[in-house]
Amino acid sequence: MTRLPHFQLYIDGAFTEGRSGQTMTTQNPATGEDWATFACAAPQDVDRAITAARRVLDDPAWRDMTQTQRGKLLYRLGELIADHADHLGRIETTDSGKLLAETTSQTGYVGEYYRYYAGLADKIEGAVLPIDKPDMHVFTRREPIGVVVAIVPWNAQMFLTATKLGPALAAGCSVVLKASEIAPAPMLEFARLIEQAGFPPGVVSIITGDAANCAIPLTRHADVDRIAFTGGPETARHVVRNSAENFAVTSLELGGKSPILVFDDADLDGAANGLIAGNFGASGQSCVAGSRGLIHRPIFETLIERITEKCAKIVVSDPLDTRTHLGPLCTKSQLDHITATLATAKEQGAKIRFGGAALDRPGNFMAPTLVECANHSIETLNVELFGPVMSLLPFDTEEEAIVLANSTPFGLGSGVFTQNLARAHRVSSRLKAGICWVNTYRAISPIAPFGGYNRSGYGREAGLDAINDYTRTKTTWINTSAEPMSNPFVMR
């Protein structure tokens, strides 16, 4: 029997098995077959990783490193990621089912995030305060917040790791990164690049495992100062409750049910491409998936026909094949969830205009699906499906479109397609979402912050200000008077 590839944990500068000896098997979503195994962390492994992260904060090798030197390490890491993009991308595709074209290009671009934060590492500044007291020199400085726990999901793990690890390391923190127990192989392989870049042992550890043995002891640990979490709202509630044990500063980037508004003056081909990209990019497995298409009634039928024509040309196949447009879903449970939700939507009066079923072949393949909805109560408009399902609903007025767009507890992404500049500004300003794309969708940059409103979480990742979220401000008062401090019980 052929032995499957095996991935180990990376703790305190060493690759290791978990103390309990527990391993898990990961499947190739395109075939449904086992393809690799990985070690799982036990509570003792979590404690080892956190203890190392705490220790290294006082280790001169990291503590006394200049910010410029830290920046050079980050830059080196960015270069290594770009150099190994094909290797990491192939592992991610095999493990998660995402298209190879997407995993390799996204991983290559992720290097830009590390280079961006490398450049910011020695731009972290304090200030001299014009204090209202005589003979006092008062200044602030930003210091590393401490031990950071970064938790990332499987669907965009290299990208979502960069938005946490980049600013945390630039600020001088240490990080324990928890990869999802679903498709963790690329993150465990990524640990080799951390080692090659030259970070001192303990600065970054990468582990994975189940909730009871890994996630819970990690987020409750007394030595954790900061938690950066990306995932689902239900898991986030547990993270927030656990953080009450250590008062760790917490940021959450959660799910979404993003609307894309298409007005009757939009370029219809561009709008159709935006809806396709927003829903079928990454097979719909994205927090910012534009899964609610709100379309001006005069163009509703015309745009559906145009999208249907494009759907008919989508190639659903092996994600390692560069000719494939749509790969499998990562897990069988996603497929079952989508199938059940579509059944409910049809009972509510929704009409399937294209697709609507799993494909009869090995693997977790779902046909690209268009759902015409008569009203906003249809199930597919309200449940995050994490799959290639686009729900389309007509509107009559700009005000109605805005109300429909905001009729969700989520608020991560949004899109507007219109040729009217005034309308673009007017509508985008009223959408309750952390990101608004106009006449485009899913564009990203290390320079641009992102995050959610409402149940899509709080805090922002990427951009200039994100680095400050991994620091604490210290204020220092220096008495410059030649006279000794006055008697505190003599009031003047």
Rama region for 349: left / alpha / beta (φ>0; ψ in -120 to 50; rest): left
> 240 with 266, same domain?
no
Task: Say how many domains are in the chain.
Answer: 2
> 240 with 265, same domain?
no
> 326 with 424, same domain?
yes
pLDDT at 192: 98
pLDDT at 118: 98
Q: Is residue 489 part of a domain?
A: no
* Catalytic hit among 102, 253, 372, 384: 253
Helix (H, G, I), strand (E, B) or coil at 422: helix
pLDDT digits (tens, 9 = 90+) for 127-180: 999 999 999 999 999 999 999 999 999 999 999 999 999 999 999 999 999 999
pLDDT at 132: 96
pLDDT more than 90, % of the chain? 97
CATH number of 178's domain: 3.40.605.10
What are the tokens at 19? 């103390």
pLDDT digits (tens, 9 = 90+) for 35-79: 999 999 999 999 999 999 999 999 999 999 999 999 999 999 999
Backbone angles phi, psi at 419, to 5 degrees: -95, -5
Q: Is residue 487 part of a domain?
A: no
pLDDT at 2: 75
Domain extent for 210: 6-254+452-476
CB 329 within 8 A of CB 367: no
CB 441 within 8 A of CB 260: yes
- The pairing of strands 259-262 and 351-354 is unpaired
> 228 with 372, same domain?
no
CB 43 within 8 A of CB 213: yes
> 291 with 431, same domain?
yes
Cα 469 to chain centroid, rounded: 16
Residue 382 burial class via C-beta count within 10 angstroms: exposed 0-12, middle 13-18, buried 19 and up? middle
> 280 with 242, same domain?
no
Helix (H, G, I), strand (E, B) or coil at 73: helix
8-state DSSP, 419: S
Closest CA to 451 of 477, 412, 410: 412
Residue 483 burial class via C-beta count within 10 angstroms: exposed 0-12, middle 13-18, buried 19 and up? exposed
> 200 with 316, same domain?
no
Distant-in-sequence, close-in-space partners of 101: CB < 8 Å, separation ≥ 6? 322
Closest CA to 255 of 236, 279, 228, 277: 236
- The pairing of strands 415-417 and 437-438 is parallel
Q: Percentage helix, strand, coil, to 5, in the chain?
A: 40, 20, 40
> 431 with 284, same domain?
yes
Q: Is residue 135 part of a domain?
A: yes
How many CB atoms neighbour CB 362 within 10 A? 12
Helix (H, G, I), strand (E, B) or coil at 371: strand
Q: Is residue 447 part of a domain?
A: no
This prediction has a pTM of 0.96
Task: Give the Cα separation of 368 and 314 in Å (integer).
Answer: 8
> 162 with 104, same domain?
yes
pLDDT at 491: 75
pLDDT at 486: 87
Helices (H), 174-299: 185-197, 216-220, 233-243, 268-280
Q: Is residue 407 part of a domain?
A: yes
**How does the average pLDDT of the chain come out, rounded?**
96
First to last CA, the chain: 87
DSSP result, 144-162? E--EEEEE--STTHHHHHH
CB 260 within 8 A of CB 274: yes
What are the tokens at 186? 């690329």
Helices (H), 244-369: 268-280, 300-311, 332-347
> 231 with 289, same domain?
no
Q: Is residue 483 part of a domain?
A: no
Task: Give the Cα separation of 74 and 351 in Å (integer).
Answer: 50
One digit per residue, pLDDT tens: the chain, 492 residues?
578 999 999 999 999 999 999 999 999 999 999 999 999 999 999 999 999 999 999 999 999 999 999 999 999 999 999 999 999 999 999 999 999 999 999 999 999 999 999 999 999 999 999 999 999 999 999 999 999 999 999 999 999 999 999 999 999 999 999 999 999 999 999 999 999 999 999 999 999 999 999 999 999 999 999 999 999 999 999 999 999 999 999 999 998 999 999 999 999 999 999 999 999 999 999 999 999 999 999 999 999 999 999 999 999 999 999 999 999 999 999 999 999 999 999 999 999 999 999 999 999 999 999 999 999 999 999 999 999 999 999 999 999 999 999 999 999 999 999 999 999 999 999 999 999 999 999 999 999 999 999 999 999 999 998 999 999 999 999 999 999 998 889 876
Q: Is residue 444 part of a domain?
A: no
253 is catalytic: yes
Q: Is residue 119 part of a domain?
A: yes
Task: Give the Cα separation of 273 and 269 in Å (integer).
Answer: 6
> 104 with 190, same domain?
yes
What are the tokens at 146? 């401490």
Alpha-carbon distances, residue 387 vs 55, 113, 390 (angstroms): 42, 27, 9
Rama region for 165: left / alpha / beta (φ>0; ψ in -120 to 50; rest): alpha
CATH number of 362's domain: 3.40.309.10
> 202 with 239, same domain?
yes
CB 274 within 8 A of CB 440: yes
CB 97 within 8 A of CB 30: yes
